[in-house]
């Protein structure tokens, strides 16, 4: 959670007030493109890392819950 929070704070702009969540829930290509345009090159790298780490986080999160239940 700390890593996602750290990498996500650079993604908050007027076009993406929710950071990466705004991009993930854009709902339309024009909205998504507007969000991408509002990010500089460094922010786009953070967004790519954030999305990739989020997938990894989902695996660990669900596995941890399953192991806790067992």
**Spatial separation of the C-alpha atoms in residues 35 and 29, rounded to whole Å:** 10
DSSP assignment of 10-38, as one string?
Answer: GG--SS-TTTHHHHHT--SHHHHHHHHHH
What are the pLDDT digits (tens) for 18-69?
A: 999 999 999 999 999 999 999 999 999 999 999 898 888 889 889 999 999 9
Reported pTM? 0.76
Specify the pLDDT at position 40: 94
Q: Which helix (H) or strand (E) holds 52?
A: helix 41-69
Q: Is the pLDDT of residue 1 over 90?
A: no
Domain containing 15 equals: 2-69
State how many domains the chain has. Answer: 1
């Amino acid at each position: 959670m700390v890593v996602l929070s750290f990498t996500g704070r650079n993604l908050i702009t007027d076009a993406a007030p929710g950071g990466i969540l705004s991009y993930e829930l854009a709902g339309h290509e024009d909205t998504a493109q507007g969000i991408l345009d509002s990010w500089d090159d460094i922010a786009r790298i953070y967004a790519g890392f954030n999305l990739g780490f989020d997938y990894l986080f989902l695996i660990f999160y669900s596995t941890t819950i399953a192991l806790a239940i067992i």
